């Protein structure tokens, strides 16, 4: 005899159980990728790119700085990291996964905590003004090159796979002549090499001379970098939509390309 008062069987618990299992599997796979696979891939990419990506070496600090300093975390104030300014080491996760693989005294080793402590301790005063301006900004690029121009100096930061170029140079002060040299404060200017526009609309005072050097640097680095155009575009570039290039900018680019083409076709026995 069938008991009509018994509750009807339902498959809902089985469905929720399977969903729970799938969720646990997804979390496990995500954790394996984030904490195991991604760091290994990142290390391999860094080690492979070092021979092709030039950088800047910082001057060695005095031996008195060879000691461990406790630096508070930027997000978790109750968490401290151990920083050594002489050896440029830090115990934060980003340094251990990313920046520790760069050579000794390489500026790309500087994580947020190393940059903060270098500034707070006054050690950056031992560096030149351009280097201090670069350290004050986020070190996001794979290549850093210092160039001496006819009217000032600059540091160029870029990646062979990215069209974004960051240029650290001097602004024009009120007492500087129109043609330079320029002695204003060091500032960062962002240039989109692919679209030939200054992303934030304001170029440096000697932009024409700077872009001539930038074109040569990008071309030379991409020629050495293994298959840069076959690799995917870099992620994480959150920049505003560039303003379309004006006719003057297009004409300047054509002029630079003609000059670069002529310089590449010139041999030691042939002058342009």
Residue of higher predicted confidence among 247 and 165: 165
Looking at residue 161, its pLDDT comes to: 82
The SS3 call for residue 70 is strand
Q: Please tell me the predicted confidence (pLDDT) of residue 243.
A: 46
Give yes or no: residues 216 and 168 share one domain.
yes
* Shared domain check, 241 and 106: no
> In this predicted model, which residue has the larger pLDDT, 118 or 21?
118
Query: Could you tell me which residues come within 8 angstroms of residue 102 by beta carbon, excluding any fewer than 6 positions away?
Result: 46, 50, 55, 108, 109
**Weakest-pLDDT range from 8-12, 33-37, 149-153, 163-167:** 8-12
Q: Is residue 7 part of a domain?
A: no
Whether residue 17 lies inside any domain: the answer is no
Residue 127 contacts residue 59 (beta carbons within 8 Å): yes
Q: Domain range spanning residue 132?
A: 128-272
Portion of the chain with pLDDT greater than 90, in percent = 40
* Pair 161, 216 in one domain: yes
Statement to judge: residues 114 and 163 lie in one domain: no
Which of these three, 62, 95, 125, is where a domain ends? 125
10, part of any domain:
no
Q: Where does the pLDDT of residue 257 fall: very low under 50, low under 70, confident under 90, or very high at 90 and above? A: low
Please identify, among 125, 154, 181, the residue that sits at the C-terminal boundary of a domain: 125
Task: With cut-offs at 50, 70 and 90, classify the pLDDT of residue 262.
Answer: low
Lowest mean pLDDT among 34-38, 63-67, 241-245, 251-255: 241-245
Nearest-10 Cα torsion for 253, 257, 198, 50:
170
Q: Are residues 270 and 175 in the same domain?
A: yes
Identify the domain boundary among 125, 144, 177.
Answer: 125
pLDDT tens track for 150-205? 888 999 999 888 889 999 999 999 898 887 889 999 999 999 988 888 987 789 98
pTM recorded for the entire structure: 0.74
Buried b (16+ CB within 10 A) or exposed e, 201-212: eebbbbbebbbb
Per the structure, the count of domains in the chain is 2
């Amino acid at each position: 005899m069938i008991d009509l008062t018994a509750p009807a069987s339902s498959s809902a618990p089985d469905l929720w159980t399977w969903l729970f299992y799938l969720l646990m599997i997804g979390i496990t796979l995500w954790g394996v990728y984030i904490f195991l696979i991604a760091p290994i891939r990142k290390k391999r990419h860094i080690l492979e790119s070092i021979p092709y990506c030039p950088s800047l070496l910082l001057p060695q600090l005095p031996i008195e700085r060879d000691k461990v300093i406790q630096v508070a975390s930027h997000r978790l104030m109750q968490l401290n990291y151990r920083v050594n300014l002489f050896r440029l080491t830090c115990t934060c996760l980003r340094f251990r996964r990313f920046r520790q693989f760069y050579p000794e005294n390489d500026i790309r080793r500087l994580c947020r905590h190393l940059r903060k402590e270098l500034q707070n301790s006054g050690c950056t005063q031992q560096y030149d003004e351009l280097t201090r301006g670069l350290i004050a900004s986020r070190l996001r690029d794979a290549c850093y090159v210092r160039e001496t121009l006819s009217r000032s100096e600059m540091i160029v930061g870029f990646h062979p796979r990215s069209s974004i170029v960051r240029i650290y140079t001097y602004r024009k002060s009120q007492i500087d002549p129109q043609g330079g040299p320029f002695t204003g404060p060091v500032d960062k200017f962002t240039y989109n090499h692919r679209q030939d526009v200054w992303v934030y609309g304001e170029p440096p005072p000697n932009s024409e001379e700077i872009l001539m050097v930038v074109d040569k640097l990008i071309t030379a680095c991409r020629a050495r970098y293994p298959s840069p155009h076959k690799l995917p575009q870099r992620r994480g570039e959150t920049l505003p939509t560039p303003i379309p290039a004006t006719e003057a900018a297009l004409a300047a680019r054509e002029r630079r390309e003609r000059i670069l083409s002529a310089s590449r076709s010139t041999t030691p026995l042939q002058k342009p």
